[in-house]
């Protein structure tokens, strides 16, 4: 099992993603979040094909297609975290942290 913990930033939402290989080439997902939109995404995204998730070819990642329909904010880091969990669980990537650090510099506007 691969676990990804996400704190989404200014919205204050936290999400836990668990990815579990089923042995047949698919990855099962359990997504727990205090964000209602992410909860809905998790309810619709129970299992994925890892090769579809790592490519923009064809229809592209199911995660991103569903996120476009269900999440109100396109900068939400949860969809990328889901894809990272799938990559690691399927052996297509090493388990390494990814970080987005945001700061504002310069004069106030």
pTM: 0.93
Which burial class, exposed, middle or buried, applies to 45 when counting CB atoms under 10 A from its CB (0-12, 13-18, 19+)?
buried
Number of structural domains the chain divides into: 1
What's phi and psi for 20, nearest 5 deg?
-130, 120
User: Is residue 42 one of the residues assigned to a domain?
Assistant: yes
d(CA 65, CA 6): 20
Say yes or no to pLDDT of 58 above 60. Answer: yes
User: Is residue 60 one of the residues assigned to a domain?
Assistant: yes
Q: What is the pLDDT of residues 88-108, one digit of tens each?
A: 999 999 999 999 999 999 887
User: Is residue 103 one of the residues assigned to a domain?
Assistant: no
| Residue 82 belongs to domain with CATH number | 3.90.1010
User: Is residue 20 one of the residues assigned to a domain?
Assistant: yes
- Look up the domain containing 29 and give its range: 2-89
User: Is residue 106 one of the residues assigned to a domain?
Assistant: no
Q: What is the pLDDT of residues 8-56, one digit of tens each?
A: 988 999 999 999 999 999 999 999 999 999 999 999 999 999 999 999 9
Buried b (16+ CB within 10 A) or exposed e, 81-98: bbbbbbbbbbeebeeeee
d(CA 52, CA 62): 7
d(CA 1, CA 20): 5
Structure confidence at residue 109 (pLDDT): 56
User: Is residue 95 one of the residues assigned to a domain?
Assistant: no
């Amino acid at each position: 099992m691969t676990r990804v913990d996400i704190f989404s930033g200014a919205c204050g939402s936290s999400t836990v993603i668990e990815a579990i290989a089923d042995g047949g080439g698919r990855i099962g997902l359990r997504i727990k979040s205090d964000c209602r939109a992410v909860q809905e995404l998790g309810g619709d995204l129970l299992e994925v094909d890892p090769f579809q998730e790592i490519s923009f070819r064809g229809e592209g990642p199911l995660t991103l297609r569903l996120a476009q329909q269900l999440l109100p904010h396109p900068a939400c880091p949860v969809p990328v975290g889901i894809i990272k969990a799938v990559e690691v669980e399927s052996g297509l990537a090493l388990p390494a942290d990814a970080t987005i650090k945001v700061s504002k510099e310069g004069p106030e506007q």
